[in-house]
Amino acid sequence: MKDTTPDLASLLCSKLCHDMLSPVGALSNGLELLADEQDEEMRKRCFELLEQSAKISADKLKFFRLAFGAAGGFDAMVPVDEARTLVDALASNNERVSVNWQLGSDSLPKPAVKTLLNFAQMAIESLVRGGEIDIVAEMRDGASEIVVRASGKKVAFDADIGRALEGTLPSGELASRTAPAAMLQNLADSVGGKLQHAVTQDALVLGAVLPAE
Q: Is residue 2 part of a domain?
A: no
| More confident site: 150 or 4 | 150
What was the pLDDT predicted at 6? Answer: 61
What is the model's pLDDT at position 104?
94
Q: What is the pLDDT of residues 178-189, one digit of tens each?
A: 999 999 999 999
Residue 4: pLDDT band by 50, 70, 90 thresholds? very low
Closest CA to 186 of 111, 75, 119, 80: 111
Say if 121 falls within a structural domain.
yes
pLDDT at residue 168, rounded to an integer: 95
34: CATH: 3.30.565.10
- What average pLDDT does range 14-27 have in this prediction? 88
Q: Residue 1: pLDDT band by 50, 70, 90 thresholds?
A: very low
Which residues fall within 8 angstroms of residue 126, CB to CB, at 6 or more apart? 150, 155, 156, 157, 204
Give the Cα separation of 190 and 210 in Å (integer): 10
- Domain contains 1: no
In a domain, 67, yes or no: yes
Task: Tell me if 168 is assigned to some domain.
Answer: yes
- In sequence order, which residues have a C-beta less than 8 Å from that of residue 195 and are 6 or more positions away? 115, 165, 166, 184, 185, 188, 206, 207, 208
How big is the chain, counted in residues? 213
The per-residue pLDDT for range 48-92, each reduced to its tens digit, is 888 888 998 999 999 999 999 875 555 678 999 999 999 999 999
Band of residue 5 on the pLDDT scale cut at 50, 70, 90: very low
Domain range spanning residue 166? 8-211
Least confident of 8-12, 24-28, 183-187, 190-194: 24-28
The rounded percent of the chain whose pLDDT value lies above 70 is 94
Number of domains present in the structure of the chain:
1
- Domain-embedded: residue 86: yes
> Could you give the 3-state DSSP secondary structure of residue 44?
helix
Q: Is position 3 within any domain?
A: no
What is the secondary structure of 78-114 as a DSSP string?
Answer: EEHHHHHHHHHHHHHTSTTEEEEEEE--SEEEHHHHH
Q: What is the pLDDT of residues 140-196, one digit of tens each?
A: 999 999 999 999 999 999 999 999 999 999 988 999 999 999 999 999 999 999 999
Higher pLDDT, 134 or 46: 134
- Report d(CA 168, CA 184) in Å as an integer: 13
State residue 73's pLDDT score.
Answer: 55
Task: Tell me if 52 is assigned to some domain.
Answer: yes
The DSSP letter of residue 141 is: T
The pLDDT value recorded for residue 143 is: 96
Average pLDDT of the chain is 90
CA 125, 126, 128, 129 torsion-angle sign: negative
